[in-house]
Every structure is written in C-alpha cells, then in structure tokens.
C-alpha cells in the first residue's frame, strides 16, 4: 500500500521508467541497453519503497506517547522549547533515512491546540540547528491524561516538502496519519519533564507502534 502523497510521483516515475526501458531496447549494445533498463527499474523500486504506507496497529493509551515515525533516536535531552511552551522540556528526536517509512503519525490522541508551518533552510536533518533553521511544522496535541506534546516535522537536505494534516481545533486519534515528509527528515518531540522516557539513543523505533514515553 502506498501513501496518497506519492501517487502523482509514482505515476510520473512509472511513465518515465517505461519510456526508458522501451527506448533502451533499441540500443544495439547489449550491456548499455541492460544497464539503462536496470537503473530505471531500480529507481522505480526506490520510489515505491519511499512512499510505502504499511498498516500499523497502534496500542492506544492516553498515558503513552507512541513513535510518530520510523527511524533512529538521535537526541534525548532537556532543552528550552521557545516556540510554544517557552519552558524546559524533554526533547526526543527521531531521524529518518531515505529508506525509512516517511508517514508521520499522531503520537498521542486529543485536541490539536497549535499547528504552524515555518519556511526555512534545508540543512542535513542531523545538524544541531536544523530544528530551528530548516523548513518545519510544529503541532501541539493535548489530552487530559498525558498533557500537551509538541511534535515538529523537520525537513532535511533532500526533503523539499512537508505535508501536515493537523489543524487547530481538530480531535485526532493516536496512531492515525498526521502527514508526510518527502525524501529524508526528522521529527522532534517535546515532552513534559516528568515524562518517563522509554527509548535509548540510537534505538530504532517503528512509527505508530513503539512507546516513546509514558506518564
């Protein structure tokens, strides 16, 4: 199953690849013909892999924060969150490589209190300044059990479009589709200081399934 944000790119890529395969078939030199066709097919496979959208069964619990994306935990630290909370928070950041699933899911269910898009740069996603200087969206979801969680979709060097479905005033369900980041990125979570972190640095997590933190 593929994410709806990839339909147009997949169709265009399929047409281009088909044209390359047919055109290459007319080349007299076999190794050149097969090389062109192989590269085209591999490219199509990579695009299909990038936009895959596997079904996940989320263990819904208002006291838990579920991983919003697939990837590796690259930051766990106390920071000052200056955009919305304007106080100290625990930051957990997950880096997505181009081979990860890039669907963003709601880490908690509840009411969307804040949703804002910020234009910016396209530094590599693991750069220390990427959370503040790169193109990004910031979303705050709140429920009575856990409180408020801010998650930030951050574009990377390859990511040229962030898709965010959250709108202020929406009621959202934990684990549901919250958006998509095209071609490499990271997601930062900002959690209350009394949160119990359930992951470690360099741990690989699965979006919509693994528990990041709990009350």
Regarding predicted confidence, which is higher, 212 or 26?
Answer: 212
Q: What is the pLDDT of residue 135?
A: 84
**Domain assignment present for 193:** yes
| Confidence grade of residue 175 (pLDDT, cut at 50, 70, 90) | very high
Least confident of 61-70, 127-136, 172-181: 127-136
Domain count for the chain:
2
Q: Looking at the structure, do residues 38 and 69 belong to the same domain, yes or no? A: no
pTM of the model: 0.83
Domain check: are 138 and 116 in the same one?
A: yes
| 63 backbone dihedrals φ, ψ, rounded to 5° | -95, 0
The token duo for 188 is: 């930062």
Q: For 121-166, write each residue's pLDDT tens digit.
A: 656 555 555 566 678 899 999 999 999 999 999 886 555 578 899 9
> Do 81 and 12 have their domain in common?
no
Token couple for 195 = 């949160």
Q: Looking at the annotation, which residues are catalytic?
A: 185
Six token digits for residue 67: 């991983």
For the chain, strand residue ranges (E) read: 64-66, 71-81, 87-96, 103-105, 110-118, 136-143, 147-155, 161-164, 171-172, 177-182, 185-191, 196-197, 204-205, 211-214
Position 72 scores a pLDDT of 95
- Domain check: are 25 and 97 in the same one? no
Domain that holds residue 29: 4-50
200-213 pLDDT tens trace: 999 999 999 999 99
What kind and span of H or E run contains 24? Answer: helix 7-24
Calculate the CA dihedral of residues 137, 165, 63, 94 and round it to 10 degrees.
-40
Contact predicate 175/206, CB 8 Å: no
């Amino acid at each position: 199953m593929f994410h709806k944000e990839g339909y147009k790119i997949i169709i265009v890529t399929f047409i281009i690849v088909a044209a390359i395969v047919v055109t290459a078939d007319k080349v007299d030199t076999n190794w050149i013909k097969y090389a062109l066709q192989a590269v085209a097919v591999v490219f199509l496979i990579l695009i299909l892999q990038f936009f895959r959208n596997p079904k996940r069964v989320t263990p819904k619990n208002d006291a838990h924060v579920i991983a919003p994306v697939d990837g590796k935990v690259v930051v766990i630290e106390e920071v000052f969150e200056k955009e919305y909370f304007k106080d100290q928070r625990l930051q957990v950041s997950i880096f997505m490589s181009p081979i990860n699933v890039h669907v963003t899911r709601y880490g908690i269910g509840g009411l969307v209190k804040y949703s804002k898009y910020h234009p910016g740069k396209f530094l590599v996603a693991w750069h220390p300044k990427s959370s503040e200087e790169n193109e990004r969206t910031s979303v705050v979801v709140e429920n009575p059990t856990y409180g408020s969680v801010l998650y930030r979709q951050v574009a990377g060097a390859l990511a040229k479009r962030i898709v965010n479905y959250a709108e202020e005033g929406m009621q959202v369900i934990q684990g549901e589709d919250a958006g998509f980041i095209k071609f490499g990125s990271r997601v930062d979570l900002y959690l209350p200081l009394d949160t119990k972190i359930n992951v470690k640095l360099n741990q690989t997590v699965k979006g919509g399934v693994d528990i990041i933190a709990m009350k």
